[in-house]
Amino acid sequence: MSSIKQHVGTFAKKFVPSHRFLRTQESTIDRIHVIQTALDVQSIKVLNWNIAKKNYDKTWLQDFFNILEEYQPDLIFLQEFRLDVDADKVAELINMSWNFAPNFIDAHHQTYAGIFTAAKISPLKKRAIITKHYEPIIKTPKVSLMTEYPLSHHKDSLLTINSHLINFVNITKFKTQLHELEIALSTHQGPIIFAGDFNTWSRKRALLLYKVATRLGLMPVAFAPHQSNKIKRFLLSPPLDYIFYRGLNEQKTSAKVLEHINSSDHKPLLAEFSYINN
């Protein structure tokens, strides 16, 4: 994996200034499989999880490996993922193609935080979408990562966006990010998965998210009520984490919130889909 380490090193030299926290350009760090295949349209298993930067923690690692072994997801969407300059550790973490889009770089610790998307196949396209606005205190933006995958025996492709929506800002800035993501999704004619931590801790934020989803023809994955209550919230707020989809059949018996997992303050969300061929 020396090429990955070289890529990260080049990335750091290009983008790390003398001050500590830095907004990155729209760029990704990637590990791509050589063999190109396609997603099995009969079963597309998805894991969505805000891991609270715990991916170098032993407890989180054990939880993650157990999830991979038991549920074998085809697509993995992680938010608040850390990447050290030694990216070989990530390569050892997961034997899948992956794309990482940082929303900021900590120049002091030489670590990157952002969105991590992994898949059993390589993406046809990828694109990082960075917010125009910054969160306060450390003044960093939020990032979403758009990836597109081929579907077995079909001309259509699956578009995915792994998102972490902006927090601690007024509703106008939140709406601006949603609008940018809506534009990115609106040009795709095929199936879509829109997942992440949407920071919908108020009903106004949740309503804006659902309006965008409705305009795009997206539906949220339906979890059983007792499991839905375990999704991350603030007091009596709406959930923060969602998996939206369009043009896919949700296998409802496979939608799960892994409420026994405590290595992050967010619970992992699992869902399984099959492709609707209209």
Least-confidence region, from 12-16, 142-146, 269-273: 12-16
* Residues 33, 42: Cα–Cα separation, whole Å: 22
Q: What percent of the chain has pLDDT over 90?
A: 66
User: What pLDDT shows up at residue 20?
Assistant: 47
**The pair of three-digit structure tokens given for residue 73, joined into one six-digit string:** 């997801």
Q: Which of 66, 77, 59 is nearest to 271 (CA)?
A: 77
User: What pLDDT shows up at residue 220?
Assistant: 97
User: What pLDDT shows up at residue 17?
Assistant: 45
User: What pLDDT shows up at residue 92?
Assistant: 65
Q: Which domain holds residue 119?
A: 2-275
Look at strands 269-275 and 44-50 and give their pairing: antiparallel
> Domain of 106: which CATH number?
3.60.10.10
Contact 197, 115 (CB under 8 A): no
User: How does pLDDT run across 217-247, given as a tens digit for each residue?
Assistant: 999 999 999 999 999 998 889 999 999 999 9
Please say if the pLDDT value at position 122 is more than 60. Answer: yes
Contact 41, 275 (CB under 8 A): yes
22's enclosing H/E stretch is strand 21-22
Least-confidence region, from 91-100, 104-113, 184-193: 104-113
User: What pLDDT shows up at residue 18?
Assistant: 42
Average pLDDT over residues 129-142: 86
Quote the number of domains for the chain: 1
* Residues 142, 265: Cα–Cα separation, whole Å: 19
Average pLDDT, the chain: 87
User: What pLDDT shows up at residue 165?
Assistant: 96
Please say if the pLDDT value at position 19 is more than 70. Answer: no
Q: What percent of the chain has pLDDT over 70?
A: 83
Contact 103, 140 (CB under 8 A): yes
* Residues 151, 193: Cα–Cα separation, whole Å: 13
Helix 203-216 vs helix 171-186: crossing angle, to nearest 10: 10
User: What pLDDT shows up at residue 219?
Assistant: 97
Amino acid at 174: F
Contact 115, 126 (CB under 8 A): no
User: What pLDDT shows up at residue 15?
Assistant: 46
User: How does pLDDT run across 43-60, given as a tens digit for each residue?
Assistant: 999 999 999 999 889 999
Average pLDDT over residues 97-102: 92
Least-confidence region, from 42-46, 113-117, 130-134, 258-262: 130-134
Pairwise pLDDT comparison (98 vs 276), residue with the higher score: 98
In the chain the first and final C-alpha atoms are separated, in Å, by 41
Please say if the pLDDT value at position 90 is more than 80. Answer: no
User: Which stretches within the chain are classed as H helix?
Assistant: 2-15, 58-71, 88-93, 171-186, 203-216, 225-228
